[in-house]
Structure 1
Amino acid sequence: MKNFIKQAENKAIRASMMLRNKASEVGERAKGILTNNEGQGTLDVAVTVLISIVLGALILGGLYLIISGTVLPTITQKIKDMFNYQG
């Protein structure tokens, strides 16, 4: 019985030490992640996204002006001529 109790105590001590080591490893890993200064920052990504949105809006606006001013009147006239065929 004394042997059984001693083995249980040893297992509990080993489990406690393993848990403490794991917690320490997780803490060190979290500390490393939080103090990491590599890669793109949030501000860099935000500026890139903002520039992309502005350029996209300018391109779409230009295409709309070209299509509404040049292409649509021509297409409208061709459709009217097609339906008013006097052949």
Structure 2
Amino acid sequence: MNMKKLVIKASDFVKVQAAKTHMVLANNRGDGYIDTAVKILIAVVLGALLLAGLYALFGDVVMPTLTNKIKGMFNYAG
């Protein structure tokens, strides 16, 4: 009788583990690698656009104005 209980217990354990394994393998939730790659690519492109915009703004607008104001501050003749 003791051996029969042991076999039944082992059989139940194997069935439970098989069911758990099936559930894990059938699970398709979560973030994929493609989603993460697309997010990183979007962040890099937006960062590059922002950096290019700031560089253009400082190069064309801020720096010439700043240069003229500094020259005006040190122009003692006029």
TM-score class normalised by the smaller sequence: 0.5 to 0.7
Corresponding position of 2:67: 76
* Alpha-carbon distance in 2 for matches of 1:63, 1:85: 33
CA separation in 2, counterparts of 1:85 and 1:78?
13
Instruction: Please name the residue that 2:39 is paired with.
Output: 48
| 2: CA distance, partners of 1:77 / 1:35 | 68
Runs (4 or more) in structure 1 with deviation over 2 Å come to none
Q: Which runs of 5 or more structure 1 residues have no equivalent in the other structure?
A: 1-20
Q: CA RMSD in A?
A: 2.5
TM-score, reference length from structure 1 = 0.57
The equivalent residue for 2:30 is 39
List alignment gaps of at least 5 residues for structure 2: 1-12
Report sequence identity in percent: 52
Cα deviation, 1:32-69, whole Å, max 9, x if unaligned, reads 2x653211111101111101110110111011101110
- TM-score, scaled to structure 2: 0.62
